[in-house]
Amino acid sequence: MAAHLNIAVVEDNRDLREAIVEVLSAMGHRTVGMSCAEDLSDGSAQPAIDLLVVDLNLPGEDGVSLARRLRSAQPELGILMLTARDTAHDKISGYDAGADIYLAKPVSIEELSAAVKSLERRLSAHQAGANPQAMLTVQVAELRALGPSGSIELSAGEVVLLSALARAPEQRLEHWQLLKISSTDLQGVSLSNLAVKMTRLRKKLIDAGFDGSELHVIRNEGYQLRLQVQLR
């Protein structure tokens, strides 16, 4: 059964905000619209949100700052950025701030609905819980992860990659996203460098008690993490 999410839409364009709220409400979600980050920050008796739909160009605190702050406070929050900024640099900044999905305006109702459904599946799976024996617990600050066979040490880069994959829709990311997340120069380095990093990470997952298939290669596209991950 699909989850009914608590969604906050932070968009200063009233017509667009109302249209998005209408679409998401029609999908069965509890959706509220706000014109600025401050409206969300003051609490105003709103329930805790599961998904944030946010524009980057907001009056006052911008969308990137809001997304980064909420991601830090609520690691499992779904974040969908909707913005007119559509350059590669803008998208990378959005993902670095914690976005799960970055959509450039104008966006169709079909595309928006599909993006929310993708996040809905991830959030629903998390809320349903998982067998602790099949879960990887990543202790972000300690650079360590716990699996069925015990603890493994991680590099800072490996923590970043695992965190990004765990938060991504369907836990999958394209090569260019993983390269940028790991601070690799897209223009100067081939995909072989990324493959080496992923091979090392896969070996560590095996040491933690998994069989290695959880870090799945998507041919000519990227990688998918087929594993429940808890970030702490």
Least confident range from 71-85, 144-158, 173-187: namely 173-187
pLDDT of residue 99: 82
pLDDT of residue 1: 37
What are the C-alpha distances in Å from 27 to residues 107, 109, 120, 129, 200? Answer: 17, 11, 11, 23, 41
Per CATH, 6-128 and 132-231 having the same topology is answered: no
Question: 68 vs 11, which has greater pLDDT?
Answer: 11
Average pLDDT, integer, range 60-76 = 85
Cα dihedral 93/99/105/108 (nearest 10): 160
- Domain limits of the chain? 6-128, 132-231
d(CA 202, CA 174): 17
Q: Does position 41 have pLDDT exceeding 70, yes or no?
A: no
d(CA 229, CA 110): 29
CA-closest candidate to residue 3, choices 104, 81, 76: 76
CATH topology of domain 132-231: Arc Repressor Mutant, subunit A (1.10.10)
Which overall architecture, per CATH, does domain 6-128 show? 3-Layer(aba) Sandwich (3.40)
